[in-house]
Amino acid sequence: MISEISSRRSIRRYTGEPVSREQILALLEAGNRAPSAKNRQPWHFLVLMGKAKADAVEAMRQGIAREKAGDALLPGSSRYLPGAEHTADIVEQAPVLILISNPYGYRLDARLLPEQRIYDLANLLSVGACVQNICLEAEAQGLGSLWICDIFFAYEELSRRFWMPGQIATAVAIGHPDERPAPRPRQSLKDAVEWREA
Ligand SMILES: Cc1cc2nc3c(=O)[nH]c(=O)nc-3n(C[C@H](O)[C@H](O)[C@H](O)COP(=O)(O)O)c2cc1C
């Protein structure tokens, strides 16, 4: 196993040290080399720093406040709102937030035919491979990363503020780590693997 796979952690504390454009480009180069369904490369990156990143934090907080006020896009997920507030605090600390859109993505409320769902699934799996490459490259460079899906609590707010081709699919925060968290537990492969030979 390459060492970055075992040493990478989700980083939730960052120093104030900025990350250079060259470093960010190296991460995006790694993301862009990910495998993708039919080599569609269904990703577009928006790198937010400074005031633009502060705007993203504000949008996240507005979305969380709207969800709490009852006009919720994700009413069944309200128990995760405190976690989303924590994520917004982390993004505030991190010097860089990369929004990743899927140019072929459907709106969240789209009614899809099975074929469209499979196409969408394949594209999102590809985005996942791209983000994992970014996180592993960050680890290789001594940077910390946090893959973020709490942006979905502010999906409309972020989409209105940051136009991107297609649909925003996910985000990743990047910065210099200010913590070394212990590994989080993983299930035993005994529970996850089944072998069949006949
Ligand atoms: C798709 C995805 C979305 C995630 N979203 C968040 C998030 O919004 N906020 C957060 O703090 N962590 C988020 N995480 C990080 C997970 O909590 C973390 O990967 C998991 O607990 C395992 O810990 P590790 O990454 O340190 O191994 C996300 C991870 C993935 C893969």
pLDDT score for 111: 97
What would the two tokens of residue 88 be?
Answer: 């917004």
pTM: 0.97
Kindly list the domain boundaries of the chain, sorted by start residue: 8-179
Note the helical H segments in the chain: 3-7, 21-32, 50-69, 81-93, 114-140, 155-161, 189-192
CB of 168 closer than 8 Å to CB of 153? no
The correct answer on CATH 3.40.50.300 for the domain covering 8-179 is no
Instruction: Determine the distance separating the centroid of ligand 1 and the alpha carbon of 70, expressed in angstroms.
Output: 26
Q: List all residues 6 or more positions away from 68 whose beta carbon is below 8 Å from its beta carbon.
A: 78, 81
Smallest CA separation from ligand 1 atom 21, residue: 184
pLDDT score for 24: 98
- Planar angle of CA 58, 22, 28, nearest 5 degrees: 65
Smallest CA separation from ligand 1 atom 22, residue: 184
- Neighbouring C-beta atoms of residue 126, cutoff 10 Å: 22
Instruction: Determine the distance separating the centroid of ligand 1 and the alpha carbon of 140, expressed in angstroms.
Output: 19
Q: What are the pLDDT tens digits along the chain (198 aa)?
A: 889 999 999 999 999 899 999 999 999 999 999 999 999 999 999 999 999 999 999 999 999 999 999 999 999 999 999 999 999 999 999 999 999 999 999 999 999 999 999 999 999 999 999 999 999 999 999 999 999 999 999 999 999 999 999 999 999 999 999 999 999 999 999 999 999 999
